[in-house]
Amino acid sequence: MIKPRVKLAIWLCWFLIVPPGMWLTYHYDPPQISGFHIDIMAFFLLISVVAAMPIVINNTPIFLIQWVSLTVFLLFGLFIEMLLFQIAVIVLLVKLRIPKEQLFRFPLNSILFFIVSFCSAFIYYTLGGAHHVDFIHNPDAIWPAFMYGISSYAVNQIVLAFILWIVYGRKSSFYDKDFVWETATTLTTFPLGLILYVLYQEVGLLALLYVGIPFISLSIILKLYYSSDKINQYLQKATEIGNQLAAQLQVNEVVDLFIEKLTGMLPVDYAYILDVVEGKELHLLRSYEKGTIRPVDMRPIKKNDGICGFVLSTGKSALFNSKKEWKKFKTGYIPETVESVLSVPIVRNNQIIGVLFLASNHKRAFEKPQLMIVEILCSHFAVALENAKNYEKTKEYSEKCPITKIYNYRYFENILFEEFNMLEQNKRQRLSLLILDIDHFKKINDTYGHQSGNEILRELAARLTNLIGNKGTVARYGGEEFVILLPDMKKVDALELAEIVRQTIANCPFTLLQTFDHEGKRHMINITASIGAAAAPEDADDPLALIRHADRALYGAKRAGRNQVAEYEK
């Protein structure tokens, strides 16, 4: 973002350099244009047409007018060349439709081209160059013109690099894509300028048709070539991103990577991914605002509500270049500073599963080729998201008990072995284990049925999860037994926690949701549990021994009368 005082300094420099410089040029080197007014107007039209067809590379416009400016300079002198160059700058910036906050680019480019024109002409005159030279009969005179072209190119690169450094604070690489295109166009257009000059001396204004029309065609071809090359690059990036998305196994990882790649590839200030709920509403899944992932706090969006609701109802993408274009949509969720908007449905198996919303604070920030690429990326995203959801479901089924929804023995065993490895590597100091068994659980099943027994297991699992929190891992060991693994907890602390667990179970009745008493109320029953505790390394030196010893302590609690906590003793 350019600071206001920098913009003011640019305008001040323009007023101090360009108008006085133009006046001094006119005063000391007045143009001899008597009888050539129509010709100058014809060159003005040609240079305006060429300036209106820039090739934008890395947000830097390149317009191929060097050949016209060379001819104008050789025919009509420095002042007319400067004047037409300044007009070309205005035409270019109007064509690019720069916003108000970037109007400083006019004086900036005006200064750049004024310096280029002045320095090139100075070198040309220093080498003995003159106007209306006959290159055919005086070939030696072509060398000053040749040096004019080289100096014009060199001064342009140097001054441009200086401007990028001073104004934008970034260093310019002389071997990037801008440099390659600038060099290629200079080498292409310089001979055309000489040809136009020679032809003009022979046939007059017809030379503009003979050279101008083929060159304008060449400009269009180059622009189309660059556009196709740019699309190919986007397609390559889309393929790479698709492969990276497919490699992710977690839903959050897929969503975060998708946002990261999109915001890195496109000029995005805001990005929202919305999930379709019951085919009627859009709920915010992820929010990105100005480089930061934001909390999900947007209200649900209904069908036909705003741009995203429109995309959901129609199933079609939407691209808007300015606020005026999308203001007709009723919306309250788009930030006030937004101008450009790109919204795409996320489709899987011919069904819309979400909507992507991208926004920029700049006008015309997105192009139609980018819309096509985003649609392709959304297809990759939909597949990767579905695969990640299926993986998480499969993982959950393999790791969690279907009745209690807590971890099963297989997951617990893996965690136990991992914790023991950390213990052996001195990454853990100690490890405590509790094994809990519901007392007389068979009697509950026989009295109230297995469905009621499952209800008790579910409620007990919920209680244990709330009690333990992030202190450790709760898992169903099998039947009516549960295990609680407590990393870095002393045995004495584990015994205190076990006593709290025992009291919570014994003192709070359990509700049987599907069983009613004689008064029609849900049945409440009291249960108790016995708990055995063991710790490593004092009680065991391997995982299976720790389980075995905690189980032995549980057996001791059962023998002592149940509803007790017992510790393993050697």
* Of 114-118, 244-248, 395-399, 550-554, minimum mean pLDDT range: 395-399
Per-residue pLDDT tens digits for 529-565: 999 999 999 999 899 999 999 999 999 999 999 999 9
CA distance 358 to 41: 45
pLDDT level of residue 499 (50, 70, 90 thresholds):
very high
Q: Which SS3 state, helix, strand or coil, does residue 567 take? A: strand
Q: Are 487 and 431 in contact (CB under 8 A)?
A: yes
Task: Report the relative pairing of strands 529-536 and 565-567 from DSSP bridges.
Answer: parallel
Q: Are 387 and 244 in contact (CB under 8 A)?
A: no
CA dihedral 168, 171, 175, 179 (to 10 degrees): 30
Per-residue pLDDT tens digits for 319-358: 998 888 888 886 667 888 888 999 999 998 889 999 999 9
What letters, b where the CB count within 10 A reaches 16 and e where it falls short, cover 48-81? Answer: bbbbebbbebeebbbbbbbbbbbbbbbbbbbbbb
Q: Which SS3 state, helix, strand or coil, does residue 402 take? A: coil
Residue 171 DSSP label: P
Written in H, E and C, the secondary structure of 176-208 is CHHHHHHHHHHHHHHHHHHHHHHHHHHHCCHHH
Residue 407 DSSP label: B
CA distance 256 to 235: 21
Partners of residue 276 on adjacent β-strands: 282
* Of 81-85, 305-309, 486-490, 520-524, minimum mean pLDDT range: 520-524
CA distance 103 to 91: 13
Element (H, E) at 231: helix 206-246
Range(s) within the chain of domains with CATH label 3.30.450.40: 253-392
Estimate the crossing angle of helix 105-126 against helix 4-28, to 10 degrees: 30
Range(s) within the chain of domains with CATH label 3.30.70.270: 409-567
Per-residue pLDDT tens digits for 92-108: 888 777 777 788 888 98
Model confidence at 1: pLDDT above 70: no
* Of 94-103, 106-115, 121-130, 149-158, minimum mean pLDDT range: 94-103
The mean pLDDT value for 298-312 works out to: 86
* Pick from 97, 89, 41, 42: nearest CA to 65: 89
Burial class (CB in 10 A: 0-12, 13-18, 19+), 345: buried
The CA R_g of the chain, rounded to the nearest whole Å, is: 38
The pair of three-digit structure tokens given for residue 239, joined into one six-digit string: 């393929």
At position 110, the amino acid (one-letter code) is: S
- Among left, alpha and beta (phi > 0; psi -120 to 50; other), residue 318 is beta
The mean pLDDT value for 293-306 works out to: 80
CA distance 510 to 463: 10
- Which fold, 253-392? Beta-Lactamase (3.30.450)
| Residue tagged 């305006």 (tokens) | 48
CATH class of 409-567: alpha beta
pLDDT of residue 177: 58
Q: What is the average pLDDT value for the chain, to the nearest integer?
A: 86
CA distance 213 to 49: 10
Percentage above 70 pLDDT, the chain: 92
Put simply, whether the predicted model's pTM sits higher than 0.85 gets the answer: no
